Structure 1
Amino acid sequence: MVRAGQVSGDESLPGGRLTDHIELGVLARAFPRDLLEEVLDVTGRREKRVRRLPAHVMIRYVIAQGLFFGSGSEEVMRQLVGSLRHLGSWSDDWQVPSTSAIAQTRARLGAEPLRELFRRAAVPVAGYGTKGAWLAGLRLMSIDGTGLDVADTEANVAAFGRMSTGPKASAFPKVHLVTLSECGTHAVLAAEAGGCRTGERTLAAGLLDALEPDMLLLADAGFYSWQLWHDATGAALAWRIGASVSLPLVRALPDGSYLGLLFDPSVKTARRQVLLTAARAGQEVPGKQAQLVRAVEFTVPDRNPDGELVCLITTILDPARISATELAGAYAQRWEHESALDEIKTHLRGGGQVLRSKSPDMVEQEIYGLLLAHYGVRELMCHAADEAGHDPDRLSFARSVRVVRRQVTDQAAFPP
């Protein structure tokens, strides 16, 4: 939504700079002006002199770019302010800033304010009544990764690299993005980006600070390592492990799951046997060498002729809290993360589209603009679903984006 502000003097006419009156109305609730000002103060990016495009406006503009990804720089600005003249809120001396002016102001702003805004604004969305978001009082979360093509410049190639080399090299440099997502709402709450050859586990380590005690974090086998599992202490965990991970039986449990002993890979075979014997006798084992976990094994049908065997390990040792059947069902919610990434890559960015920024800092800024736009839409969808008593998954993300875009371009009002 575009809003035209009133100023002192003749209240029937707009005043000040055109950009003083720009707001992403339906998304402004997620990113209020006071929060933008705090972010600019913390990051030291507040402008030192009056400019036609102040820093707080450029933050909103970058989010708008994420919402209108396929549009050019000036067109995004026009979409934000196009309804002002129709409503009699246009001053003849206002001009839409040029592409060059917008690019220069984006560069001055940098990526840090967008990163900080995302860190502060992207908080858990699901309420206790949100359908499909909780299991036994724990908020279902997941981690997953994806790749994004970026503009083919020397700076981007140096920073992010290409997949493969020589004649088989990817046409564009590629960013590797790993995110922490709320399964029930698809809201992304934390993100780490790096070069295309940066491992998922390396990037996932940067997400651990966002974990909270009321969360149950789901992850696929590709994310498991002793170190990452050992460091992810901020939440309950339920991760798949591969066949190469040793997990000897300690004790069978009545719900069909069992307690097993997870080892630091550096522990020698003889020492493992000593630790296993102690665990089976009910003794504590040193946490730096081994950890008692609960394992749930189940088969996923239709993945191959014999079904696919999944081994899920969890820090929730008591079957009375969450049964093996409930854990297996919860793990299926991890696939919701892939849907969230598809929403960003297909419905916001557009299938096959390339991030336009030509420098690594601007690429990062652009990525956070996309993430903030996605979060704002998903927050609105969750509130709408909660009020109607529906699961947020029943609402169409693509349709919601179209509604938000219409709100941005079609509405304007004088603020109170």
Structure 2
Amino acid sequence: MPRPGQRHPLSDESLPDRIAIGVLIRTFPPELVDAAVDCTGRTQLRSRLLPAQVVVYFVLAMCLFNQEGYESVTRRLTDGLEWARRGRTQPGEPTTAALSRARARLGPEPLKALFARACRLSTGPRYRGRRLVSLDSTTFDLPVTDSNLEHFGRPGNAGRNAYPQARVGVLAECGTNAVFAAETAPLRTPEKTVRRRLFSRLGPGMLLLAGRRPPDFDLWCPASATGADLLWRARHRTPLPVVERFDDGSYSSELITKCGDPVRVRVVETAAGRLVTTILRPDQAPAGELADLHDGLRKTENALEEVEALQGPDFVLRSRQPAGVEQELYGFLLVHHALRAVRT
């Protein structure tokens, strides 16, 4: 049964499709894919039409050509692999059922391992020596199956016709939108829990900016405890009393959180709202510069918006089992990494 938004396969593969597959192979060369497969114990003990390496490339191609059915993706992948390797490989054209079984055998672990090996911080912009990174999260619609409903859950106020959803949180480098950390979870997992799991990738020398939605300030203490500096937008009702005003227009304040005692912070007032930062001295980060930094992030498309744009409007993931959903989500993050590398 076709899923929402799926197109009929095209009759002819084109050079751009071959180049796109070539980009995936160049970004994730076979030796890197094999290392990710080996470290997760997914290496096959006997020869198959669909060895693990080919299945990894199939998942990436499936996400790249996300509006196409399995048969069309397989033809594009086969044609692209033969073109990229100058005819040295002919994986054949397995059936949709065989591809589904191969994806299930592979699981999400090799895609997660490949992400960990390939998706790292690049040489993006810095602010006064600090590497600029952003925190964001969103949800993705999933096929309505018993296993997806049981594992992920659906929005409580959307009725029985709502799609189940998965949460995804990421840390990305500002400017390049290079995603270097990701977490996936069922919808029932609180958003702040998903975001907190990402903090292990933060550290001194970073300045963490919030993404599209302001984070819960209960995360302030665990985030700042990593040694990273923070610059977050405050909600309208967040109490931030003036303790001391500075010449640049900012002021020191005390932030009330669940950490215990009030936390000393600095507040920068802008036309778009109040910004709260751990950088307490104006000479280290003048108010105008911090406002420009955050305004620049607010006006530009961020990494998760780019990942969502890969899917198109009203898109529903194709995976009908929870393990396949996680595999597919990491596939989209890896494809985003490959395409971003081409643009930069």
TM-score range, shorter chain: 0.7 to 0.9
Q: Is the 8 A contact 2:139 2:187 kept in 1?
A: yes
Return the match for 1:255 from 248, 252, 265: 248
Q: Tell me the amino acid that sits aligned with residue 297 of structure 1.
A: E
Contact 1:156–1:173 under 8 Å retained in 2: yes
Matches within 5 A, 1:14-25: 24-25=21-22
Shift of 1:293: 1.4
Structure 2 match to 1:139: 131
User: Please, which of 149, 153, 169 is the counterpart of residue 161 of structure 1?
Assistant: 153
Residues 154 and 165 of structure 2 are in contact (CA less than 8 Å); yes or no, is this contact kept in structure 1?
yes
Q: Which residue of 1 aligns with 2:122?
A: 125
CA-based RMSD of the aligned residues comes to: 2.6
Secondary structure of the corresponding residue to residue 27 of structure 2? coil
Say whether 1:293 aligns with 2:265.
Answer: yes
Match of 2:276 among 299, 307, 313: 313
Matched, 1:115 2:106: no
Q: Taking structure 1 as the reference length, what is the TM-score of the superposition?
A: 0.71
Structure 2 vs 1, CA of residues 205 and 265 (structure 1 numbering), >3 Å: closer, same or farther? closer
CA–CA distance in 2 between the matches of 1:175 and 1:118?
Answer: 18
Distance 2:123 2:128 in 1: 15
Q: How far does residue 114 in structure 1 lie from its aligned partner after superposition?
A: 0.8
Q: Does the aligned pair in 1 maintain the 2:49–2:91 contact within 8 Å?
A: no
Unaligned runs of 5+ in 1: 1-22, 128-132, 268-288, 301-309, 383-416
Given that residues 221 and 259 in structure 2 are in contact (C-alpha distance below 8 angstroms), is that contact kept between their aligned partners in structure 1? no
Deviations 1:220-271 (A, max 9, x none): 6641223x1111124211011224433333322221111222234475xxxx
What residue in structure 1 maps to residue 200 of structure 2? 209
CA contact (8 A) 1:138 1:216 kept: yes
1:82 aligns to what SS in structure 2? Answer: helix
Contact 1:257 1:294 in 2 (8 A): yes
Choose from 334, 341, 345 the match for 2:304.
341
Residue 76 of structure 2 corresponds to residue 79 of structure 1: yes
Residue 360 of structure 1 corresponds to: 322
Farther-moved stretch of structure 1 (240-249 vs 42-51): 240-249
How do 1:390-409 and structure 2 match up within 5 A?
none
Cα distance per residue 1:81-102 (max 9 Å; x no partner): 22649x98389x9631111111
Distance 1:124 1:88, change over 3 A: closer
Aligned match of 2:341: 379
* 2:48 paired residue number: 51
Which among 370, 375, 388 is matched to residue 332 of structure 2? 370
State the one-letter code of the partner of 2:269: E
CA distance in 1, matches of 2:237, 2:334: 38
Q: 1: CA distance between counterparts of 2:187 and 2:86?
A: 49
Secondary structure at 2:243 match in 1: strand
Judged with a 3 Å threshold, the aligned counterparts in structure 2 of structure 1 residues 71 and 109 are, in CA distance, closer, same or farther, namely: same
TM-score by length of 2: 0.85
Alpha-carbon distance in structure 1 between the residues aligned to 2:289 and 2:265: 17
Indicate how the Cα distance of structure 1 residues 70 and 266 shifts in structure 2: closer, same or farther if over 3 A, else same.
closer
After the TM superposition, which parts of structure 1 deviate over 6 Å for at least 4 consecutive aligned residues?
A: none
Aligned partners of 2:307, 2:200: CA distance in 1, in Å? 23
Decide whether the 8 Å contact of 2:217 with 2:257 is kept in 1: no
The residue aligned with 2:166 is 175
Indicate conservation of the 8 Å contact 1:144/1:338, yes or no. no
The 8 Å contact of residues 55 and 109 in structure 1, kept in 2 or not, is answered as yes
Identity of aligned residues (%): 41
- Check 1:148–1:336 CA distance in 2 against 1; reply closer, same or farther (3 A cut): farther
Matched, 1:330 2:293: yes
CA distance in 2, matches of 1:218, 1:186: 13
Closer, same or farther in 2 for the Cα pair 1:137/1:114, shift >3 Å?
same
Structure 1 counterpart of 2:24: 27
2:175 is matched with: 184
CA–CA distance in structure 1, aligned partners of residues 91 and 21 of structure 2:
19
Structure 2 stretches lacking a partner, 5+ long: 1-19
SS in 1 for 2:283: coil
2:87 match: 89
Q: Which amino acid aligns with 1:254?
A: D
How far residue 154 of structure 1 moved from its aligned partner, in angstroms, is: 0.4
Partners of 1:117 and 1:335 in 2: CA distance: 30
- Compared with structure 1, are the counterparts of its residues 164 and 41 closer, same or farther at alpha carbon in structure 2 (3 Å cutoff)? same
Superposed displacement of residue 338, structure 1 = 4.8
Of structures 1 and 2, the one scoring higher in RCO (CA 8 A, sep 6+) is: 1
